[in-house]
DNA sequence: ACCTGAACACCGTTCAAGT
DNA sequence: ACCTGAACACCGTTCAAGT
């Protein structure tokens, strides 16, 4: 394959792929350069530095969400719209479990931009959609705040569990004996370990929608 | 002050103080050593390495929560207990905004240990308390899952906002003009920026308690 | 037993130099 | 205009040496 000249987009997409495979911790300017067939220093022509690159990765992934099939179809109610946004973000988190924590942790561009819906374009889209469904300004903003809080907690927990499953050597870092101190926990360990994450997510989402409904009709 | 021999506890408490002041990113074995009056390599006598140190910091801070005044008084109902746990964690997040994201991000010891209530001792305490108030095994576990999800989302958003406020040079990274593309957002910017974090938290917590009640009496 | 000093293999980032 | 090579100031971590 002939080597084209490197573009900014190549660098960012390369970083996304690298993090998906190896995790953000092991992304190094030198290693990313090597994976793109270029010296590390060439990357600085396209991004200001490592931090700026990670910020660009976050932005890229969040913006790709607009192309998710869930987002391209027109919703018939605000409930449907909220459900589509939530599930599109859930898919993103499951597709990029190594990147989602960056979305959560990286300082947003403005204090009123809340992860994981943290781009100007997204917030505008969300507020506009709800208003088109009849929400007042205040109700739309409150719904945005409630949704971001729910999604952040629910999805971060989901990918944290995935992250553990990925590194099996640490999967049972807890020696059998250490549970003897905690008999209640020991008895409930089986129940705790059961994974009902999809049901948990859907139940939480139903509750959230109920809550937004009560914001809408106080 | 005469220099005592360094203990593991000195190292961990020193790391907590260092992160509170400078952030986890700038915690370096060399710099932490210097702040404790010791060479970096001396730290390795007490912790296995930087990652292990950060894990110990997380564990320490979470365990200190048992000494919070909210946790030492005996609750009269499960609602009161849940409220005390939630508010103690909220205080922790506000006291250690630089450490809370580590609690959220660091891989837990077991997949069924969910941040931010992620120590064996805490989970055991929580499940035991709810069972003492009459919860079934399943109800206690479901309540644990619902509470962790709520706290993680709500508190991470709270400290993310604090983190931005701390670095004022980035506070207005968004140039005035860039909002012109997004008229809806521009109009609602004021409402978005309003900080009602305590009310938001309390409302969310009330909702969560309502939700747990419906788990308890299906 | 605990701490130090020197060393190793890596970082991010700069800058002048190449094409 | 874009990439490279050498260099700088830092990392985490190891290991032998000091006390």
Residue A106, domain member (yes or no): yes
Residue A152 sits at the vertex; the CA angle it makes with B55 and B158, to the nearest 5 degrees, is 75
Shared-domain flag, residues A51 and A89: no
Residue A56 · residue A38 · CB < 8 Å: no
Distance A41 CA to C18 C1' (A): 14
pLDDT digits (tens, 9 = 90+) for B126-139: 999 999 999 999 99
CATH label of the domain that carries residue A161: 1.10.357.10
> Is residue A95 located within the same domain as residue A145?
yes
- Could you say which of B111, B127, B170 has the minimum Cβ distance to residue A164? B111
Nearest Cα residue to B217 out of B102, B115, B134:
B134
- Is the domain of B133 the same as that of B45? no
Contacts of B193 in chain A (CB under 8 A): 111-112
Cα dihedral B129, B133, B136, B137, rounded to 10, equals: 0
CB-based contact (8 Å) between B116 and chain A? no
Distance from CA of A179 to the nearest CA of B (A): 8
pTM of the model as a whole? 0.94
* Predicted confidence (pLDDT) at residue A95 exceeds the cutoff of 50: yes
The answer on A189 and A165 residing in a single domain is: yes
- Inter-residue contact A209 to A82 (CB < 8 Å): yes
Q: Note whether residue A133 is domain-resident.
A: yes
CB neighbours of B104 closer than 8 A, spacing ≥ 6?
A101, A104, A105, A156, B115, B116, B152, B156
Which A residues, 172 through 211, put their C-beta within 8 Å of a C-beta on chain B?
A: 172-174, 178-179, 181-185, 187-189, 191-193, 200, 204, 207, 211
Residue range(s) defining the domain that contains residue A156 = 71-216
The answer to whether residue B2 is domain-embedded is no
Domain identity same for B24 and B81: no
Q: Is the CB of B146 under 7 A from strand C?
A: no
Question: Are B190 and B138 members of one domain?
Answer: yes
d(CA B97, CA B65): 15
Q: State CA A202 to chain mean position distance.
A: 17
Number of domains in chain A: 2
pLDDT beyond 60 at B170? no
Residues A1-46: tens digit of each pLDDT: 335 689 999 999 999 999 999 999 999 999 999 999 999 999 999 9
With a 7 Å cutoff on the CB, does B28 touch strand D?
yes
- Contact, B213 CB vs strand D, < 7 Å: no
Residues A107-142 pLDDT 10s = 888 889 999 999 999 999 999 999 999 999 999 999
Which conformational region is residue A141 in: left (phi greater than 0), alpha (psi within -120 to 50 degrees), or beta?
Answer: alpha
| Cβ-nearest to B114 among A112, A157, A211 | A157
**Region A153-159: what's the mean pLDDT?**
96
- Distance from the Cα of B149 to chain A's closest Cα (Å) equals 5
> Cβ A204–B146 below 8 Å, yes or no?
yes
Joined together, the tokens standing for residue A206 give 């139903």
- Structure confidence at residue B150 as a pLDDT band (50, 70, 90): very high
pLDDT category of residue B164 using cuts at 50, 70 and 90: low
| pLDDT surpasses 80 at A217 | yes
Measured in residues, chain B has a length of 218
CB pairs under 8 A between A and B: 161
Q: Does A108 touch chain B (CB under 8 A)?
A: yes
What's the average model confidence in pLDDT over B2-21?
90
B106 lies in the same domain as B77: yes
pLDDT band at B183 (very low <50, low <70, confident <90, very high): very high
Amino acid B9: pLDDT: 97
DSSP B37: T
At A190-207, the pLDDT tens digits run 999 999 999 999 999 999
Mean pLDDT of B73-89: 97
In this prediction, residue B168 carries a pLDDT of 46
Percent of chain B with pLDDT over 90: 83
Q: Is the pLDDT at A169 greater than 50, yes or no?
A: no
Claim to verify: residue B103 and residue B127 sit in the same structural domain: yes
């Amino acid at each position: 394959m002939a080597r084209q000249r490197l573009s900014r987009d190549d660098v960012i997409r390369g970083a996304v792929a690298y993090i998906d495979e190896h995790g953000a911790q092991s992304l190094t300017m030198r290693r990313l350069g090597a994976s793109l067939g270029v010296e590390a220093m060439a990357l600085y022509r396209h991004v200001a530095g490592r931090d700026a690159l990670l910020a660009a990765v976050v932005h890229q992934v969040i913006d790709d969400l607009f192309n998710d099939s869930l987002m391209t179809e027109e919703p018939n109610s605000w409930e449907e719209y909220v459900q589509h946004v939530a599930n599109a973000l859930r898919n993103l988190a499951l597709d990029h479990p190594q990147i989602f924590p960056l979305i959560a942790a990286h300082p947003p561009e403005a204090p009123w931009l809340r992860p994981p819906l943290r781009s100007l374009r997204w917030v505008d889209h969300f507020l506009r959609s709800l208003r088109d469904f009849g929400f007042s300004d205040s109700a739309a903003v409150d719904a945005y705040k409630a949704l971001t809080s729910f999604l952040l907690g629910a999805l971060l927990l989901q990918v944290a569990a995935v992250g553990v499953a990925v590194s099996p050597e640490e999967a049972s870092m807890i020696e059998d004996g250490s549970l003897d101190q905690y008999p209640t926990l020991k008895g409930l360990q089986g129940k705790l370990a059961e994974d009902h994450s999809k049901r948990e997510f859907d139940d939480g989402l139903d509750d959230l929608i109920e809550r937004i409904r009560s914001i809408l009709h106080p």
